[in-house]
Amino acid sequence: MPWIRNIYIVMSISESQIPKWLNTENERVHIVWDWGIVPREYLPVFNSNVIDLYIPRIEGLSERYLYACDDYIVMKDLKPDDFFYEGWG
């Protein structure tokens, strides 16, 4: 899906969780720490439902975005209109 402009990966705990194969030098890849979007009184949190509530707090996130958990994989070519229709928003 080369049409995706930015990829935000929400992480917690430490940089040791960032896979060594991930090219963090790529300007489209952004690591977002959970403590940057989730209020401190709810940390630490390991419940993805709670983290999901705070995804819209990611700085730079578009009005329209795709969300996928870490157990999703794209198996075929997809186009923006597979997700969004032109009259939306």
In the chain (89 residues long), the average pLDDT of successive 10-residue segments reads 93 86 96 94 90 95 90 91 79
Note the pLDDT of residue 53. Answer: 95
77 torsion bin: left (phi>0), alpha (psi -120 to 50), beta (else)? beta
CA angle 18–70–43, rounded 5-degree value: 70
Nearest to 54 by CA among 32, 70, 29: 32
